[in-house]
A = this chain, B = another copy of it.
């Protein structure tokens, strides 16, 4: 893409009404727009990142056997009354609205009720199980405070998968597989090292549920890490047992962390309330065992910004960067323009995603913008590089500069991880 055509502009100063680093940087770089506290629009570069995060998640969910759906935000109260989650006293984050005939509606903050009701149309017999529907869809939560940028929003994208299993053995096997899929997702985002599977309280049906917590000074949670087992417990658990659930060691390290995902055994809570049953091999009705598996793609994107960016701006991992390469033309002489244009076409032909800074600006401004946008590789085309028949390639993450021969450039860029 030609940067001269990109309609968003960077800002010199971070917005004064934001306290979180992720919102400051993403607004400064033109990735998002603040509509009100906790409500952000995604602009072209930001949407490209979000879509890539979504596609990584999709890929891992599909490998688990997930089937993608898209449920609605508008909810009638009937199903939510059955689980006692309709009243504002019971759930204090509802946004409610009304039809013209005064029927009260809610904006979904989660989808267990809606999906359980829906699955009653599709689950009859043991042959219809297991089933793993998931969606990436907008959730609404009426948060009292929203100061963490895109990490805690009133309107935000969420991936929620739900498992429907015949029995606890089938449920538990899937639950274990989902942990590995989640870890793959965080690895692919560049957050693997900092993300701990964290034991949390399990509710009625299990001793534990599990959170995925990424260590970050911007986190709103406290976790307690066992470095020996590379796992953690959350605040609730530490208060109950003050030891590692795996090795029973008591040497736990406290850290601030962001909850980037969670998985939960729902047991028969929803299938009881909404009467979701199947007929087993003998024709006897049985309750379906359910689980829920959540990840916030926007929060994940915010966490990447909080943990990987530096003083000069954003730093995107290759897999979720809006473009792989920032091609920066330095100087406006005809031969430089032509060489930059040729390289742009060559990279595009090789199916490499390139943002081409063809703007008529001073080199210093271009480099500052390039650092701020944070694409993994910057290639400079200038009078100097023309003379050497090599390109100067700078890695955003480390600042390391390589001189790459013209003939090798596509290969170099494609292999970069």
Contact present for A68 and B97 (CB under 8 Å): no
CA distance A36 to B114 in the complex (A): 11
- Among A72, A98, A133, find the residue whose CB has the most chain B CB atoms closer than 10 A: A72
**A97 / chain B contacts, CB cutoff of 8 Å:** 95-97, 107
Say if the beta carbon of A289 comes within 8 Å of chain B: no
Say if the beta carbon of A42 comes within 8 Å of chain B: yes
Say if the beta carbon of A338 comes within 8 Å of chain B: no
CA distance A68 to B49 in the complex (A): 12
Contact present for A76 and B35 (CB under 8 Å): yes
10 cross-chain pairs, A with B, having the tightest CB-CB distances, nearest first: A7-B131, A42-B70, A41-B71, A44-B67, A95-B97, A97-B97, A33-B118, A39-B74, A74-B155, A9-B122
A171 to chain B, nearest CB (A): 16
Say if the beta carbon of A43 comes within 8 Å of chain B: yes
Task: Name the segment of A137-145, A362-370, A380-388 touching the other chain.
Answer: A137-145
25 contacts between A and B (CB under 8 A): A5-B65, A6-B67, A7-B119, A7-B123, A7-B131, A7-B133, A8-B122, A9-B121, A9-B128, A35-B72, A35-B74, A39-B74, A41-B118, A42-B69, A42-B70, A44-B68, A47-B69, A73-B73, A73-B140, A74-B155, A95-B97, A95-B98, A96-B97, A100-B144, A107-B107
CA distance A50 to B128 in the complex (A): 25
Give the number of copies in the complex: 2
Given contacts A5-B67, A7-B119, 5 further A-B contacts (CB under 8 A): A35-B114, A43-B69, A47-B69, A99-B154, A107-B107
Closest chain B residue to A137 by CB distance? Answer: B138
A10 to chain B, nearest CB (A): 10
Chain A 107-118 interface 0/1 with B at a Cβ cutoff of 8 Å (1 = within): 100000010001
CA distance A24 to B263 in the complex (A): 36
**A140 / chain B contacts, CB cutoff of 8 Å:** 73-74
Say if the beta carbon of A40 comes within 8 Å of chain B: yes
Contact present for A41 and B69 (CB under 8 Å): yes
- Among A43, A70, A95, find the residue whose CB has the most chain B CB atoms closer than 10 A: A70
Known A44-B68, A69-B41, A100-B142; judge A74-B154 contact (CB<8 A): yes
**A124 / chain B contacts, CB cutoff of 8 Å:** 9
Chain A 1-18 interface 0/1 with B at a Cβ cutoff of 8 Å (1 = within): 000011111000000000
